[in-house]
Chain A
Protein backbone atom coordinates (compact mmCIF):
# COMPACT_ATOMS: atom_id res chain seq x y z
CA UNK A 1 0.00 0.00 0.00
CA UNK A 2 1.24 3.52 -0.71
CA UNK A 3 1.84 5.64 2.30
CA UNK A 4 -1.27 7.87 2.28
CA UNK A 5 0.56 10.61 4.12
CA UNK A 6 3.26 10.81 1.49
CA UNK A 7 0.69 10.59 -1.30
CA UNK A 8 -1.30 13.46 0.17
CA UNK A 9 1.73 15.52 0.84
CA UNK A 10 2.60 15.53 -2.87
CA UNK A 11 -0.19 18.07 -3.14
CA UNK A 12 2.22 20.51 -1.56
CA UNK A 13 4.52 19.95 -4.52
CA UNK A 14 2.89 22.19 -7.06
CA UNK A 15 3.90 21.21 -10.56
CA UNK A 16 3.66 23.81 -13.34
CA UNK A 17 0.16 23.68 -14.78
CA UNK A 18 1.24 23.70 -18.42
CA UNK A 19 3.33 21.22 -20.38
CA UNK A 20 6.22 22.63 -22.37
CA UNK A 21 5.53 22.86 -26.10
CA UNK A 22 8.22 21.32 -28.28
CA UNK A 23 9.67 23.69 -30.91
CA UNK A 24 7.85 23.61 -34.26
CA UNK A 25 10.84 21.93 -35.92
CA UNK A 26 10.06 18.73 -33.96
CA UNK A 27 6.81 18.35 -35.93
CA UNK A 28 8.70 18.94 -39.16
CA UNK A 29 11.33 16.36 -38.26
CA UNK A 30 8.59 13.83 -37.48
CA UNK A 31 6.99 14.53 -40.87
CA UNK A 32 10.36 14.08 -42.58
CA UNK A 33 11.19 10.94 -40.61
CA UNK A 34 7.85 9.28 -41.33
CA UNK A 35 7.59 10.60 -44.90
CA UNK A 36 4.05 11.73 -44.10
CA UNK A 37 4.36 15.15 -45.64
CA UNK A 38 6.05 14.12 -48.88
CA UNK A 39 3.97 14.68 -51.95
CA UNK A 40 3.88 15.83 -55.54
CA UNK A 41 1.63 17.95 -57.73
CA UNK A 42 1.30 18.86 -61.37
CA UNK A 43 2.32 22.29 -62.65
CA UNK A 44 2.52 23.92 -66.07
CA UNK A 45 5.89 24.70 -67.60
CA UNK A 46 7.28 25.99 -70.92
CA UNK A 47 7.81 22.32 -71.83
CA UNK A 48 4.30 21.18 -70.88
CA UNK A 49 2.99 19.67 -67.65
CA UNK A 50 5.51 18.67 -65.01
CA UNK A 51 5.35 16.92 -61.66
CA UNK A 52 7.00 18.70 -58.73
CA UNK A 53 7.84 16.68 -55.60
CA UNK A 54 8.25 18.27 -52.18
CA UNK A 55 8.76 17.59 -48.50
CA UNK A 56 8.48 20.03 -45.55
CA UNK A 57 12.04 21.26 -46.18
CA UNK A 58 11.59 22.19 -49.81
CA UNK A 59 10.97 21.00 -53.35
CA UNK A 60 12.96 17.88 -54.16
CA UNK A 61 12.39 16.89 -57.79
CA UNK A 62 10.74 17.90 -61.06
CA UNK A 63 9.96 15.73 -64.08
CA UNK A 64 7.89 15.88 -67.27
CA UNK A 65 4.47 14.28 -67.10
CA UNK A 66 4.87 11.24 -69.35
CA UNK A 67 2.79 8.68 -67.46
CA UNK A 68 -0.12 8.67 -65.06
CA UNK A 69 2.18 8.82 -62.06
CA UNK A 70 5.70 10.20 -61.74
CA UNK A 71 8.60 7.80 -61.99
CA UNK A 72 11.54 7.37 -59.64
CA UNK A 73 15.10 7.57 -61.07
CA UNK A 74 15.03 3.81 -61.74
CA UNK A 75 11.84 4.34 -63.80
CA UNK A 76 9.54 2.70 -61.25
CA UNK A 77 6.39 4.59 -60.27
CA UNK A 78 6.95 6.99 -57.35
CA UNK A 79 5.13 5.91 -54.21
CA UNK A 80 1.78 7.66 -53.92
CA UNK A 81 1.71 10.53 -51.45
CA UNK A 82 0.42 9.27 -48.11
CA UNK A 83 -1.63 12.36 -47.44
CA UNK A 84 -3.41 14.73 -49.85
CA UNK A 85 -0.42 16.27 -51.57
CA UNK A 86 -0.65 19.96 -50.92
CA UNK A 87 2.61 21.84 -50.75
CA UNK A 88 2.97 24.03 -47.63
CA UNK A 89 1.16 27.37 -47.66
CA UNK A 90 2.29 29.76 -50.35
CA UNK A 91 4.60 27.30 -52.07
CA UNK A 92 2.36 26.72 -55.11
CA UNK A 93 2.76 30.33 -56.23
CA UNK A 94 6.52 30.18 -55.54
CA UNK A 95 6.79 26.97 -57.59
CA UNK A 96 4.94 28.58 -60.53
CA UNK A 97 7.23 31.64 -60.38
CA UNK A 98 10.35 29.50 -60.06
CA UNK A 99 9.38 27.43 -63.12
CA UNK A 100 8.48 30.41 -65.29
CA UNK A 101 11.56 32.41 -64.29
CA UNK A 102 13.89 29.42 -64.24
CA UNK A 103 15.32 30.24 -60.82
CA UNK A 104 14.33 29.13 -57.30
CA UNK A 105 14.02 32.69 -55.94
CA UNK A 106 12.25 32.46 -52.58
CA UNK A 107 11.21 28.82 -53.08
CA UNK A 108 12.75 26.45 -50.48
CA UNK A 109 14.77 23.74 -52.23
CA UNK A 110 15.92 20.55 -50.50
CA UNK A 111 19.12 19.19 -52.05
CA UNK A 112 20.16 17.29 -48.93
CA UNK A 113 20.18 13.97 -50.79
CA UNK A 114 23.01 15.13 -53.06
CA UNK A 115 26.77 15.10 -52.50
CA UNK A 116 28.32 18.38 -51.41
CA UNK A 117 29.92 18.65 -54.87
CA UNK A 118 26.52 18.17 -56.54
CA UNK A 119 24.98 20.77 -54.25
CA UNK A 120 27.63 23.39 -54.98
CA UNK A 121 27.32 22.83 -58.75
CA UNK A 122 23.54 23.30 -58.55
CA UNK A 123 23.65 26.24 -56.15
CA UNK A 124 26.03 28.06 -58.52
CA UNK A 125 23.84 27.16 -61.51
CA UNK A 126 20.78 28.51 -59.71
CA UNK A 127 22.28 32.02 -59.89
CA UNK A 128 22.61 32.18 -63.68
CA UNK A 129 20.06 34.83 -64.72
CA UNK A 130 17.39 34.18 -67.38
CA UNK A 131 18.58 34.89 -70.91
CA UNK A 132 22.23 34.23 -70.08
CA UNK A 133 24.36 31.13 -70.44
CA UNK A 134 27.53 29.87 -68.79
CA UNK A 135 29.93 27.09 -69.73
CA UNK A 136 30.61 23.86 -67.82
CA UNK A 137 34.15 25.17 -67.38
CA UNK A 138 32.87 28.41 -65.82
CA UNK A 139 30.87 26.45 -63.21
CA UNK A 140 33.91 24.29 -62.43
CA UNK A 141 36.00 27.43 -61.86
CA UNK A 142 33.28 29.10 -59.78
CA UNK A 143 33.12 26.20 -57.33
CA UNK A 144 36.91 26.09 -57.03
CA UNK A 145 37.42 22.83 -58.94
CA UNK A 146 38.66 24.03 -62.36
CA UNK A 147 39.75 20.52 -63.35
CA UNK A 148 36.32 18.98 -62.67
CA UNK A 149 34.58 20.07 -65.90
CA UNK A 150 33.38 16.54 -66.68
CA UNK A 151 32.11 16.01 -63.12
CA UNK A 152 30.17 19.27 -63.42
CA UNK A 153 28.48 17.83 -66.52
CA UNK A 154 27.56 14.68 -64.60
CA UNK A 155 26.20 16.67 -61.64
CA UNK A 156 24.05 18.76 -64.00
CA UNK A 157 22.79 15.64 -65.80
CA UNK A 158 21.57 14.45 -62.39
CA UNK A 159 19.93 17.77 -61.49
CA UNK A 160 16.73 16.65 -59.72
CA UNK A 161 15.13 20.07 -60.26
CA UNK A 162 15.52 21.02 -63.94
CA UNK A 163 13.74 24.26 -64.97
CA UNK A 164 13.83 25.48 -61.33
CA UNK A 165 17.61 25.07 -61.17
CA UNK A 166 18.42 26.23 -64.71
CA UNK A 167 20.90 23.63 -65.92
CA UNK A 168 19.65 24.47 -69.44
CA UNK A 169 21.71 27.70 -69.13
CA UNK A 170 24.94 25.72 -68.97
CA UNK A 171 26.36 25.05 -72.45
CA UNK A 172 29.65 23.93 -74.01
CA UNK A 173 32.56 26.38 -74.20
CA UNK A 174 32.31 26.27 -78.04
CA UNK A 175 28.73 27.57 -77.79
CA UNK A 176 26.97 24.29 -78.69
CA UNK A 177 24.10 23.30 -76.40
CA UNK A 178 25.43 20.07 -74.87
CA UNK A 179 23.16 17.50 -73.28
CA UNK A 180 19.89 18.14 -71.45
CA UNK A 181 18.29 15.80 -68.93
CA UNK A 182 14.67 16.95 -69.19
CA UNK A 183 13.53 15.30 -72.42
CA UNK A 184 16.73 15.86 -74.47
CA UNK A 185 18.69 18.55 -76.36
CA UNK A 186 15.70 19.84 -78.30
CA UNK A 187 14.06 21.01 -75.06
CA UNK A 188 17.23 22.87 -74.09
CA UNK A 189 17.10 24.73 -77.42
CA UNK A 190 13.40 25.57 -76.92
CA UNK A 191 14.05 27.00 -73.46
CA UNK A 192 17.07 29.07 -74.47
CA UNK A 193 15.41 30.47 -77.59
CA UNK A 194 12.33 31.41 -75.61
CA UNK A 195 14.44 33.18 -72.98
CA UNK A 196 16.40 34.99 -75.68
CA UNK A 197 13.13 36.27 -77.19
CA UNK A 198 11.78 37.48 -73.85
CA UNK A 199 14.94 39.25 -72.76
Chain B
Protein backbone atom coordinates (compact mmCIF):
# COMPACT_ATOMS: atom_id res chain seq x y z
CA UNK B 1 0.00 0.00 0.00
CA UNK B 2 2.89 2.39 0.79
CA UNK B 3 4.43 1.89 -2.64
CA UNK B 4 1.15 2.18 -4.51
CA UNK B 5 1.13 5.95 -5.17
CA UNK B 6 4.60 5.71 -6.69
CA UNK B 7 3.67 2.63 -8.74
CA UNK B 8 0.47 4.27 -9.95
CA UNK B 9 2.40 7.40 -10.89
CA UNK B 10 4.86 5.33 -12.92
CA UNK B 11 2.44 2.99 -14.67
CA UNK B 12 -1.21 3.57 -13.90
CA UNK B 13 -2.64 0.74 -16.01
CA UNK B 14 -0.30 -1.91 -14.67
CA UNK B 15 -0.63 -0.85 -11.02
CA UNK B 16 -4.33 -0.07 -10.85
CA UNK B 17 -5.38 -3.71 -10.28
CA UNK B 18 -3.10 -3.64 -7.20
CA UNK B 19 -5.01 -0.68 -5.81
CA UNK B 20 -8.30 -2.54 -6.30
CA UNK B 21 -6.84 -5.62 -4.64
CA UNK B 22 -5.51 -3.65 -1.67
CA UNK B 23 -8.61 -1.55 -1.03
CA UNK B 24 -11.71 -3.37 -2.22
CA UNK B 25 -12.55 -5.49 0.82
CA UNK B 26 -12.36 -2.69 3.37
CA UNK B 27 -14.27 -0.32 1.10
CA UNK B 28 -16.91 -2.93 0.30
CA UNK B 29 -17.33 -3.77 3.99
CA UNK B 30 -17.59 -0.13 5.06
CA UNK B 31 -19.95 0.89 2.25
CA UNK B 32 -22.19 -2.08 3.01
CA UNK B 33 -22.55 -0.86 6.62
CA UNK B 34 -23.42 2.67 5.49
CA UNK B 35 -25.53 1.92 2.42
CA UNK B 36 -26.97 -1.57 2.93
CA UNK B 37 -27.59 -3.43 -0.30
CA UNK B 38 -25.48 -1.01 -2.35
CA UNK B 39 -21.94 -1.99 -1.42
CA UNK B 40 -21.41 -3.76 -4.70
CA UNK B 41 -22.44 -1.02 -7.13
CA UNK B 42 -20.84 1.70 -5.01
CA UNK B 43 -17.54 -0.22 -4.75
CA UNK B 44 -17.26 -0.79 -8.47
CA UNK B 45 -18.34 2.74 -9.35
CA UNK B 46 -15.80 4.18 -6.88
CA UNK B 47 -12.91 2.35 -8.54
CA UNK B 48 -14.08 3.24 -12.06
CA UNK B 49 -14.33 6.94 -11.10
CA UNK B 50 -10.97 6.73 -9.36
CA UNK B 51 -9.35 5.27 -12.47
CA UNK B 52 -10.87 7.95 -14.69
CA UNK B 53 -9.61 10.65 -12.32
CA UNK B 54 -6.12 9.14 -12.15
CA UNK B 55 -5.81 9.19 -15.95
CA UNK B 56 -6.20 12.98 -15.75
CA UNK B 57 -3.76 13.53 -12.86
CA UNK B 58 -0.08 14.31 -13.30
CA UNK B 59 2.46 11.85 -11.87
CA UNK B 60 3.22 14.43 -9.18
CA UNK B 61 -0.44 14.69 -8.17
CA UNK B 62 -0.72 10.90 -7.97
CA UNK B 63 2.41 10.63 -5.79
CA UNK B 64 0.97 13.10 -3.29
CA UNK B 65 -2.40 11.31 -2.95
CA UNK B 66 -3.40 9.69 0.31
CA UNK B 67 -5.09 6.89 -1.54
CA UNK B 68 -7.32 5.44 1.14
CA UNK B 69 -8.87 8.76 2.17
CA UNK B 70 -9.16 9.85 -1.45
CA UNK B 71 -11.01 6.66 -2.44
CA UNK B 72 -13.37 6.93 0.51
CA UNK B 73 -14.12 10.54 -0.38
CA UNK B 74 -15.15 9.44 -3.89
CA UNK B 75 -17.20 6.59 -2.40
CA UNK B 76 -18.95 8.85 0.11
CA UNK B 77 -19.86 11.37 -2.58
CA UNK B 78 -21.36 8.60 -4.69
CA UNK B 79 -23.15 7.15 -1.68
CA UNK B 80 -24.56 10.51 -0.65
CA UNK B 81 -25.91 11.36 -4.08
CA UNK B 82 -27.47 7.93 -4.12
CA UNK B 83 -28.92 8.59 -0.66
CA UNK B 84 -30.38 11.90 -1.87
CA UNK B 85 -31.96 10.27 -4.89
CA UNK B 86 -33.62 7.76 -2.59
CA UNK B 87 -34.67 10.45 -0.10
CA UNK B 88 -36.32 12.51 -2.82
CA UNK B 89 -38.51 9.54 -3.62
CA UNK B 90 -40.12 8.83 -0.27
CA UNK B 91 -42.39 6.12 -1.64
CA UNK B 92 -39.41 4.04 -2.66
CA UNK B 93 -37.54 2.81 0.38
CA UNK B 94 -34.07 1.31 0.42
CA UNK B 95 -35.27 -2.24 0.79
CA UNK B 96 -37.55 -2.10 -2.20
CA UNK B 97 -34.79 -1.04 -4.59
CA UNK B 98 -32.38 -3.76 -3.64
CA UNK B 99 -32.84 -7.19 -5.07
CA UNK B 100 -31.96 -9.51 -2.21
CA UNK B 101 -31.75 -12.47 -4.58
CA UNK B 102 -28.71 -10.96 -6.29
CA UNK B 103 -26.87 -9.90 -3.16
CA UNK B 104 -24.38 -12.22 -1.50
CA UNK B 105 -25.53 -12.89 2.06
CA UNK B 106 -24.01 -10.77 4.84
CA UNK B 107 -22.05 -13.06 7.20
CA UNK B 108 -23.71 -13.37 10.65
CA UNK B 109 -21.06 -11.37 12.53
CA UNK B 110 -21.47 -8.40 10.16
CA UNK B 111 -25.26 -8.81 10.03
CA UNK B 112 -25.34 -8.40 13.82
CA UNK B 113 -23.47 -5.09 13.45
CA UNK B 114 -25.86 -3.96 10.74
CA UNK B 115 -28.80 -4.41 13.09
CA UNK B 116 -27.03 -2.27 15.70
CA UNK B 117 -25.77 0.40 13.31
CA UNK B 118 -29.28 0.77 11.93
CA UNK B 119 -30.35 2.31 15.24
CA UNK B 120 -27.77 5.12 15.05
CA UNK B 121 -28.38 8.49 13.45
CA UNK B 122 -26.92 8.88 9.96
CA UNK B 123 -24.09 11.13 11.24
CA UNK B 124 -23.19 8.67 14.01
CA UNK B 125 -23.33 5.67 11.74
CA UNK B 126 -21.18 7.31 9.08
CA UNK B 127 -18.48 8.48 11.48
CA UNK B 128 -18.37 5.22 13.46
CA UNK B 129 -17.88 3.26 10.21
CA UNK B 130 -15.14 5.62 9.04
CA UNK B 131 -13.42 5.44 12.44
CA UNK B 132 -13.57 1.69 13.06
CA UNK B 133 -13.85 0.12 9.59
CA UNK B 134 -12.01 2.78 7.59
CA UNK B 135 -9.63 3.25 10.54
CA UNK B 136 -9.30 6.97 9.87
CA UNK B 137 -8.22 9.53 12.44
CA UNK B 138 -10.66 12.20 13.60
CA UNK B 139 -8.90 14.95 11.61
CA UNK B 140 -9.07 12.77 8.50
CA UNK B 141 -12.78 12.11 8.99
CA UNK B 142 -13.39 15.77 9.65
CA UNK B 143 -11.71 16.62 6.36
CA UNK B 144 -13.47 13.87 4.40
CA UNK B 145 -16.91 14.88 5.62
CA UNK B 146 -16.15 18.59 5.74
CA UNK B 147 -17.48 18.75 9.31
CA UNK B 148 -15.87 20.36 12.39
CA UNK B 149 -13.52 18.13 14.34
CA UNK B 150 -15.50 18.53 17.54
CA UNK B 151 -18.71 17.46 15.80
CA UNK B 152 -17.03 14.36 14.38
CA UNK B 153 -15.68 13.43 17.82
CA UNK B 154 -19.04 13.89 19.46
CA UNK B 155 -20.80 11.88 16.72
CA UNK B 156 -18.39 8.97 17.19
CA UNK B 157 -18.62 9.17 20.95
CA UNK B 158 -22.43 9.23 21.00
CA UNK B 159 -22.55 6.48 18.39
CA UNK B 160 -20.33 4.26 20.53
CA UNK B 161 -22.38 5.01 23.61
CA UNK B 162 -25.54 3.97 21.82
CA UNK B 163 -23.89 0.83 20.48
CA UNK B 164 -22.81 -0.12 23.96
CA UNK B 165 -26.34 0.30 25.26
CA UNK B 166 -27.69 -1.80 22.42
CA UNK B 167 -25.17 -4.56 23.16
CA UNK B 168 -25.94 -4.47 26.86
CA UNK B 169 -29.61 -4.95 26.05
CA UNK B 170 -28.66 -7.84 23.75
CA UNK B 171 -26.79 -9.47 26.64
CA UNK B 172 -29.64 -8.95 29.10
Interface residue ranges, A against B (CB under 8 Å): 2-3, 6, 9-10, 12-13, 15-16, 19-23, 25-27, 29-30, 33-34, 36, 82-83
Contacts and interface: CB of A to CB of B under 8 A. Distances in A.
Interface in B43-79: 43-45, 47-48, 51-52
A174 to B, nearest CB: 49
B25 A6 contact: no
B28 interface: yes
A17 B138 CA distance: 22
Main secondary structure of the interface of A (DSSP, over half): loop
Main secondary structure of the interface of B (DSSP, over half): helix
5 contacts: A2-B138, A19-B28, A30-B47, A33-B48, A82-B13
Contacts of A23: 40, 104
Contacts of B26: 19
Given A2-B156, A19-B26, A36-B13, 15 more contacts: A3-B157, A9-B164, A13-B132, A15-B132, A19-B29, A19-B133, A20-B39, A20-B106, A26-B43, A26-B44, A30-B48, A33-B44, A33-B48, A34-B48, A82-B13
A169 to B, nearest CB: 37
Interface residues of B, number: 37
Contacts of A27: 20, 24
B18 to A, nearest CB: 12
Given A19-B28, A34-B16, A6 B47 contact: no
Nearest to B163: A13
A2 B153 contact: yes
